[in-house]
Structure 1
Amino acid sequence: MIEPATPKDEQLRLAAVKSYNLLDTLPEKDFDNITALTASICDVPISLVTLLDSDRNFLKSHYGLDFDESPRDISFCGHAILNEENLFIVEDARKDIRFKDNPLVLEKNAVFYAGVKLVSPDGFTLGTLCIFDTKPRTLSKSQKDALKALAYQVVRLFEARKKNEALLVLQEELKARNDELKNFAGLVSHDMKMPLANMIITSDILRSKYGKFLDDQGREYLDYIKQSSFTLSEYISGLLEHYESDNIVKREAERFDSNALFEEIIELLNIDGECEINLPEKNIELLGNRVALEQIFINLLTNSLKYNDKDKIIIDISCWKESKEYHFQIADNGIGIPKNKISDIFEIFKTAAENDRFGKKGNGIGLSTVKKLVERLGGTISVASKLGRGTTFHFTIKRSDI
């Protein structure tokens, strides 16, 4: 018997093998399907997907065997990875000086072997897709081609599994960072709300007690302090609302009437007579996350009210059912959105208009929160707008009653 030599690039090759995190893993159906198919096509009792570790041959999939590793120094695959050709064949190991007294030949009756190297995209041989038989034999051209094609698919599976693992790690990292940011937002909002409230109250007290001693510019400064405090308070509330949206969508579904919800929101927003809001003609019963839907409509209606330059604001609300979704639409006669900014409006901290109806600049959090809630509810949102004529938001949510 001749032990297989060590490849010149062994350390780099081993690093490549370990980068797939496949050593000592449990059997997986995708690989087992390939070894079963390989054995069937080549008409052999044994088919393996192997990975050559430093001192062993790990069998990621073993069709026809009841063990999952063997010593590397007696492995046929150790020779196969050194072969210049991609396909390494031993027709009768009993007549081959490299294998005739090999324990696999003497004890396991491994007579015929054929293995295709599993080569990573960066050129390192990881192991083999191989077959064994207990008698001498040859392979037809079609069987050789099939063996090579299946080996290629094994490497594709290796790569897909590696990318999926990397994505899972990235997902966990992003979740951890998002949780940290959410906690930070909650801490900041708690620590800053009270000082901001004190600033607003203090500015009112100063105006009340000392306003007569101040000139117009002094009173203007007080107004500026108060307005800035309100703006910052709204910004913090919006940020906290954005990061709390994950908790909102976890609420249980409940039954409620669409128009009852809309009327409650209109009352909550304290809309004056300069605004005409037209509710759907048909009131429908909904089964879903009422709190999340309320949050979506509050944000969208607030935008329709704020970004409107008409003497009379008109908002039309539509709502209907389809087979798998609820559909909602809010159309207004506001200032509209420039075409070059429509694609950005759902990104956090992005705004389409310089200032709203009251001269205040938005914070770019509301629509980002809306999109996040809609998608968490299994829906999509889109917008159509004509500058100076109005904007229409259309969104769906997945029905909970089907």
Structure 2
Amino acid sequence: MKIPQIPAYELERLAAVRSYNLLDTLPEKDFDNITALTASICDVPIALVTLLDADRNFLKSHYGINFSESPRNISFCGHAILDESNIFIVEDARNDPRFHDNPLVTEMHAIFYAGVRLVNSDGYPLGTLCVFDKKPRTLSKQQKTALTALAYQVVNLFEARKRNRTLMSVQQELKEKNEELKNFAGIVSHDMKMPLANMIITSDMLRSKYGSLLDVQGKQYLDYIKQSSFTLSEYITGLLEHYESDKTASLNGESFDSHDLLEDIIELLNINIDCEINLPEENIEMHANKVALEQILLNLIANSLKYNDKKKIKIDIACTEENGFYYFKISDNGIGIPKDKMDHIFDLFATTGKLDRNGKKGNGIGLSTVKKLVKKLNGEITVSSTVGKGTSFQFNIEKLKC
């Protein structure tokens, strides 16, 4: 018996084999299907997918035998990986000086062998797709072609699993980093709100106590401090809502009336300007995530109020139920959204660049949060707009089971 030689590139080859994380893994249907098909095509009782480790031949799939590994020093595959021809074939091992006294031949009657190397993208042979028979024989041209093609598919499966494992690892890492970022944003945002509240209160106290001692410019400085503090506070509140939207979207559904919900939102907005808000004609009994829906509508209606340059603001709200979804449409007569901004209007921190009714610039958080919540509620949102005439947002959310 001749023991297979060790390739000159063995260390690199072993590293390649182990990079696929397939050694000592359980059988998989995809590989077992290939070995069953290989045995059928080649008309043999045994077909294997093997991976050659340092001192053993691991059988990732074994059709026709009931063990999952054998010593490398007696393996036919140890010889096959060294042969650069398309297929390594031993027609009658009893007459071959390399194998005639091999235990696989003398004890298990492995007489015929044909193996195709499983070569990865870096050129290293990982193992073989091989077949055995207990009698001498040959393979037809068609069988050789099929064996080679199936070996190529085995390598494709190896590579696909490796890519999937890498993607899953990256996905998990991104998930962990995102969670860290959310926690960091939450902590920082909460910690910043109190100093900002103190700045607002302090500016009011300074104006009240020392206002008579300040000139017009000094009073303007106090106004700047207060207004900047309010702006930053709103920005932080928006960030908190954005990063906590996952929790909001995961809340249980509850039953409520659409009119009651909208009237509560309008009352919450405390509108003190000339505004006409037309509610849907039909009052729908809804079952959905009320908190998330309220946040969506609050953002959209508030935007219709803020980004409006008309003397009289007009907002039309429509709501219907169809095929297990609730459909909403919020239309206004506001300043509209420029065409070149439409594609990015839902991106985090994206703004139109225009000032609102009070001369303030948006922070680009509200609409991003809206889209995130709509998506979490298994819905979609779209926008249409004409500059100077108004904007219309349409979205739907899934009706929850009672």
1:46 Cα deviation from its structure 2 partner: 1.6
CA distance in 2, matches of 1:137, 1:215: 107
Q: Which residue of 2 aligns with 1:140?
A: 140
> Is residue 219 of structure 1 aligned with residue 228 of structure 2?
no
Q: How does 1:110-259 map to 2 (within 5 A)?
A: 110-259=110-259
CA distance in 2, matches of 1:335, 1:95: 91
- Runs of at least 5 residues in structure 1 that lack an aligned partner in the other structure: none
Q: Which residue of 2 aligns with 1:30?
A: 30
Q: Which residue of 2 aligns with 1:359?
A: 359
1:195 Cα deviation from its structure 2 partner: 0.9
CA RMSD between the two structures: 1.8
- Alignment CA distance shift 1:135-1:348 (3 Å): same
Q: Which residue of 2 aligns with 1:285?
A: 285
Q: Which residue of 2 aligns with 1:373?
A: 373
CA contact (8 A) 1:109 1:134 kept: yes
CA distance in 2, matches of 1:375, 1:384: 18
CA distance in 1, matches of 2:48, 2:16: 20
Aligned identity (percent) is 71
CA distance in 1, matches of 2:295, 2:344: 21
SS in 1 for 2:330: strand
- Alignment CA distance shift 1:168-1:310 (3 Å): same
SS in 1 for 2:394: strand
Q: Which residue of 2 aligns with 1:305?
A: 305
- Of 262-271 and 205-214, deviating more is 262-271
CA distance in 1, matches of 2:26, 2:212: 82
CA contact (8 A) 1:337 1:353 kept: no
CA distance in 2, matches of 1:247, 1:185: 15
SS in 1 for 2:310: coil
> What residue identity is the alignment partner of 1:355?
L
1:198 Cα deviation from its structure 2 partner: 0.7
CA distance in 2, matches of 1:57, 1:383: 61
Q: Which residue of 2 aligns with 1:385?
A: 385
CA distance in 2, matches of 1:380, 1:124: 48
**What is the CA deviation profile of residues 357-401 of structure 1, one whole-angstrom value per residue up to 9, with x for unaligned ones?**
211111111111112212222222222222222222222323333
Q: Which residue of 2 aligns with 1:314?
A: 314
CA distance in 1, matches of 2:328, 2:158: 44
SS in 2 for 1:50: strand
CA distance in 1, matches of 2:287, 2:148: 54
What's the TM-score, normalizing by structure 2? 0.95
- Alignment CA distance shift 1:276-1:106 (3 Å): farther
- Of 4-13 and 357-366, deviating more is 4-13
CA distance in 2, matches of 1:198, 1:175: 35
- Runs of at least 5 residues in structure 2 that lack an aligned partner in the other structure: none
SS in 2 for 1:34: helix
CA distance in 1, matches of 2:11, 2:386: 63
CA distance in 1, matches of 2:84, 2:57: 20
**What is the CA deviation profile of residues 197-243 of structure 1, one whole-angstrom value per residue up to 9, with x for unaligned ones?**
11000101111111111111111100000011111111111111111
- Alignment CA distance shift 1:135-1:280 (3 Å): farther
What's the TM-score, normalizing by structure 1? 0.95
**What is the CA deviation profile of residues 58-105 of structure 1, one whole-angstrom value per residue up to 9, with x for unaligned ones?**
111112222211111211111221111232222222222222211111
SS in 2 for 1:168: helix
- Alignment CA distance shift 1:196-1:23 (3 Å): same
CA distance in 2, matches of 1:102, 1:320: 78
> Is residue 106 of structure 1 aligned with residue 106 of structure 2?
yes
SS in 2 for 1:108: coil
SS in 2 for 1:276: strand
Q: Which residue of 2 aligns with 1:70?
A: 70
CA distance in 1, matches of 2:121, 2:72: 24
Question: Number of paired residues?
Answer: 402
Q: How does 1:16-95 map to 2 (within 5 A)?
A: 16-95=16-95
User: After TM superposition, where is structure 1 displaced by more than 4 Å over at least 4 residues in a row?
Assistant: none
> What residue identity is the alignment partner of 1:335?
I
**What is the CA deviation profile of residues 261-293 of structure 1, one whole-angstrom value per residue up to 9, with x for unaligned ones?**
222212211234522222222233332211111
CA distance in 2, matches of 1:121, 1:381: 44
> What residue identity is the alignment partner of 1:135?
K
